[in-house]
Copies of this chain bind each other. A is one copy, B any other.
Amino acid sequence: MAEMEQAKPSPTSLVLRALRSQPVPRPPIWLMRQAGRYLPEYRTLRARARSFFDLCYTPELAFEITLQPVRRFAMDAAILFSDILVIADALGCPVVFVEGVGPKLKPVRSAAARARLRRTAVVEKLAPVYATIRALKQELPTGTALIGFAGAPWTVAAYMVEGEGSKEFYVARAFARREPAAFAGLIELLTEATIEHLRAQIEAGADLVQLFDSWAGVLPESEFRRWCQEPVARIARALKSEHPEVPIIAFPRGAGLHLPSFAAAVPVDGLSLDTTVPVTAVRRALPELCLQGNLDPVALLAGGAGALEEAERIVAALASGPFIFNLGHGVLPETDPAAVAALVAHVKSLRLPRVPPHGAERDAC
């Protein structure tokens, strides 16, 4: 019985309704990195843990952290507390988070280093993640969608080759050009591991999944297609073939002028727009797709009436079609939780016209 409960998506989740192009009375809202350092209750738990990954790998902690913003703000979705780099870690590329610096990885910069990575262990090593999802699924109120996620192969590969964060990922990009076969092998490995990881999250109870391609914005056209667009399309097709009812959101951050071709090529239910995306033009170009976004996290950091006005402009521009309110990137650590509360309350107070969304015909086909 509990098993069946776990597998059933919350029927009234506004987030799922938007992703299925069904009408919603108000914009659904959740925020990228809604669980995290800006919340004092998160910092309390973080201070007690040995490492950042301890939080991700301890179901009790990850469960609690996932729920913190849902309790505080009644978000319309809970996103699993985890990290895009758990895949690298599970493949045998150790990751440590250095306070104030970011992730440091043992760089993978040769075909031999790539060959040492092991795909077989991924789902076993990430078992605590799925345990967290099972617990969350039982706990979450009806109507709060549970979001699973993974990093997209390019972004994870970029960290694995570079060995750390970067403005431009020159080392990773140079490796991809100098050793395209080895890099393609790494992308292939990550694509397969990501399918397994997301499949396991769905089977544990995730109502939808989001793919974060945080560094999609540094690549030229041909590489964007090869390293960002095609792997994400392959992951989406694989998940859709097994779980057609589970929506997928892609977040190709910084895709810029590649966005139209990405949207045409990748079979996703939702597209998360980064801060820089001009919303009116993109809504016009993609009238039927569920668009998610894209308030500037800096507007939320600055808070006040400005943030709420900007949120209204985004809703006005995007909510003529299927839409989920979100930021254009994660909540910044210095953000005042009171500003988040004000934003959520304001977005929830906005009423949408009860017209069938543009995408309604698509469902009828």
Contacts and interface: CB of A to CB of B under 8 A. Distances in A.
Contacts of A301: 170, 174, 177
Contact of A302 (B168, B174, B218): B174
Nearest to A177: B302
Contacts of A278: 221, 257-258, 261
A177 to B, nearest CB: 4
**Most chain B CB neighbours (cut-off 10 Å) among A218, A261, A296, A299:** A296
A167 interface: yes
A257 B275 contact: no
A168 B259 CA distance: 20
13 contacts: A165-B167, A168-B329, A170-B298, A217-B217, A219-B275, A219-B276, A220-B275, A223-B296, A224-B276, A254-B254, A255-B256, A256-B256, A257-B257
- Residues of A in contact with B, size category: 35 or more
Contacts of A279: 221
A281 interface: yes
A178 interface: yes
Contacts of A170: 298, 301, 332
Contact of A177 (B217, B220, B277, B298): B298
Given A177-B299, A224-B276, A217 B257 contact: no
B257 A328 contact: no
Contacts of A165: 167
Given A221-B277, A257-B281, 4 more contacts: A173-B298, A174-B302, A218-B276, A220-B294
A140 interface: no
A282 interface: yes
Interface in A150-181: 165, 167-168, 170, 173-174, 177-178
Interface in A292-351: 294, 296, 298-299, 301-302, 306, 310, 328-329, 332
Given A256-B256, A302-B178, A276 B167 contact: no
B254 A217 contact: yes
A221 B293 CA distance: 13
B256 A254 contact: yes
B302 A276 contact: no
Contacts of A218: 275-276
A277 B299 contact: no
Q: Please provide the 8 A-B residue pairs with the shortest distance between their CB atoms, ordered closest to farther.
A: A256-B256, A177-B302, A221-B278, A173-B298, A220-B296, A220-B275, A178-B302, A167-B167
Interface string A209-228: 00000000111111110000
Contacts of A221: 276-279
A219 B282 CA distance: 16
Contacts of A282: 257
A183 to B, nearest CB: 12
Contacts of A310: 222
Contacts of A220: 275-276, 294, 296, 299, 328
A267 to B, nearest CB: 21
Contacts of A217: 217, 254, 256, 276
